[in-house]
Chain A
């Protein structure tokens, strides 16, 4: 029997602030476009990032990937960067508005480099009522 493939999903939590603002727009246009998210002092969320990875289930370990590897990768590459940070001050968002759509793309870029499984999907919940999904460039 060939080795079965499965998908594994893991959720991570971080808290960060941001402000939606685009320099190319006037202050009025920014307020009109982004509403309360354009508040000059920023605001914050408890983000939930759900990453889905796929691969063969190892006959030795029974796993797609070892969770301790995935967790330490997530800690090092994502949580240390984003948790309790102001997203707008981070390199990926210096010239890119820190919407959760763009955050999905950045999280995709991070986990696409995970060496032990194939990234299938990124899902980010900005609040309990807003969530965003990205599956890479199709």
Chain B
């Protein structure tokens, strides 16, 4: 088995707000991220898949195909969007880096032929990132 990682970038707006908490609690917990006008980041997504090397092609998975899947399933939906307002999974889930990693995992799981999703890593900034390995981890 070998691991293969592909990166993709998207830029999006978000804010953190839990409607079940009071205004004060939201501001206390989320600080400046609770500004409801939103703010934005250049996100970097790293998707790692695990599989066996095809003896004919030498690939685990065709990189162009993986790039197209990331584009179709994630980037085309997240890029230059407001995550809270325009991406359905964040209508009732706070788009923290952790939840974005989980949401991207769910979008990609089972969609990559001949390989198993191993890790989804989302960088919100170069100094902050979240990893999700699926439910078994």
Chain A residues proximal to chain B, CB less than 8 Å: 2, 4-12, 52, 57, 60-64, 66-68
Q: Quick one: closest A residue to B31, CB to CB? A: A68
Given A60-B18, A61-B94, A61-B96: A11 and B127 within 8 A (CB)?
Answer: yes
Does A5 lie within 8 Å of B137, measured CB to CB? yes
Interface of A is mostly: mixed
Does B128 lie within 8 Å of A10, measured CB to CB? yes
Chain B residues in 8 Å Cβ range of A12: 127
Given A2-B135, A4-B135, A5-B137: A61 and B130 within 8 A (CB)?
Answer: no
Given A57-B98, A62-B99: A7 and B127 within 8 A (CB)?
Answer: no
B20 at the interface (CB under 8 A from A): yes
Encoded as 1 (CB less than 8 Å from any A CB) or 0, chain B from 53 to 88 comes to 000000000000000000000000000000000000
Complex CA gap A102/B124 in Å reads 30
Minimal beta-carbon separation of A77 from chain B (angstroms): 18
Does B131 lie within 8 Å of A9, measured CB to CB? yes
Complex CA gap A10/B128 in Å reads 5
Does B126 lie within 8 Å of A62, measured CB to CB? no
Does A62 lie within 8 Å of B16, measured CB to CB? yes
Does A8 lie within 8 Å of B31, measured CB to CB? no
Chain B residues proximal to chain A, CB less than 8 Å: 16, 18, 20-21, 29-31, 93-99, 101-102, 126-133, 135, 137
Does B131 lie within 8 Å of A7, measured CB to CB? yes
Q: Quick one: closest B residue to A66, CB to CB? A: B29
Minimal beta-carbon separation of A123 from chain B (angstroms): 12
Chain A residues in 8 Å Cβ range of B99: 57, 62
Chain B residues in 8 Å Cβ range of A62: 16, 93-96, 98-99
Chain B residues in 8 Å Cβ range of A2: 135
- Which listed residue (B18, B131, B133, B137) contacts A61, Cβ 8 A? B18
Complex CA gap A109/B119 in Å reads 27
Complex CA gap A52/B127 in Å reads 11
Complex CA gap A12/B96 in Å reads 20
Complex CA gap A68/B96 in Å reads 14
Q: Quick one: closest A residue to B136, CB to CB? A: A5
Does B137 lie within 8 Å of A8, measured CB to CB? no
Some 28 contacts from A to B, beta carbons below 8 A apart, are A4-B102, A4-B135, A5-B137, A6-B102, A6-B131, A7-B132, A8-B128, A8-B131, A9-B129, A9-B130, A9-B131, A10-B128, A11-B126, A11-B128, A52-B131, A57-B96, A57-B98, A57-B102, A60-B18, A60-B20, A61-B18, A61-B30, A62-B96, A63-B96, A63-B98, A64-B98, A66-B29, A68-B31
